[in-house]
Amino acid sequence: MKAINKMKITFPSRSSNESLARSVIAAFVTQLDPAVDELIDIRTAVSEAVTNCIIHAYPDKIGEITITARLYSTGRVVIKISDKGCGIDDVEKAMEPLYTTGGEERSGLGFSVMQSFTDKLRVVSREGKGTVVTLEKYITLKQRQAKQS
């Protein structure tokens, strides 16, 4: 199926861009007229993925983070957050609740949040090459206004 709209943004891994990423994804998904809670779920999940790129993928340098997003007329939203950072050697372990390599101030809950706030989470990573996190969420369509316009 063809996407009814798509977008792509790339920005440096500065922590001030966490709120930028949330604002951009919210503005984009708003086109599907999501419920308030659905929008917060997406904002939160994207915030987690972007924060992980900033903290973990590029621990001591500024690198590029790219977000691509697609909207479908069925209400499906697909968001990819990618970095070219250090990668994750054991993705399964990294996704376990409370697992963290981030020290005292991290709770190891980012992937748990992404998992419980979206309908599908996929993580592909290669050590030294980077990580791609794909989030999918189905927005409940109100009437049938999400047609192509």
Partner 1 sequence: MGVNIESSPDGLIARLSGEIDHHSARQIREKIDAEIEKTRPKKLLMDFEQVLFMDSSGVGLIMGRYKLMQIYGGKMKIIGASERVKKVISLAGIERLGIFCENTGVSR
Ligand X SMILES: Nc1ncnc2c1ncn2[C@@H]1O[C@H](COP(=O)(O)OP(=O)(O)OP(=O)(O)O)[C@@H](O)[C@H]1O
CA-angle at 102, arms to 85 and 120, nearest 5°: 65
Per-residue binding letters, 102-131, with partner 1 (x by CB under 8 A): --xxxx-xx-xx--x---------------
* 31 secondary structure, DSSP code: G
101 part of the interface to partner 1, by CB under 8 A: no
Rg, C-alpha atoms of the chain: 15
**67 part of the interface to ligand X, by CB under 6 A:** no
End-to-end CA distance of the chain: 16
Edge-to-edge strands, sheet with 5-12: 5-12, 64-71, 76-83, 130-138, 120-126
Stretch that binds ligand X, among 9-17, 29-37, 39-47, 102-110 (CB under 6 A): 102-110
Quick check: 68 and 8 in contact, CB under 8 A?
A: yes
Binding of Mg ion at residue 131 (CB under 5 A)?
Answer: no
Q: How far apart are CA 29 and CA 38, in angstroms?
A: 10
* Of the residues 15, 107, 116, 145, which one makes contact with ligand X according to CB under 6 A: 107
Which residue number, 60 or 105, has a Cβ lying nearer to partner 1? 105
- Asked if 125 is part of the footprint of Mg ion (rule: CB under 5 A), the reply reads no
Interface residues toward partner 1, by CB under 8 A: 15-16, 18-19, 22, 37, 40, 43-44, 47-48, 51, 54-55, 97-98, 104-107, 109-110, 112-113, 116
Interface residues toward Mg ion, by CB under 5 A: 52, 110
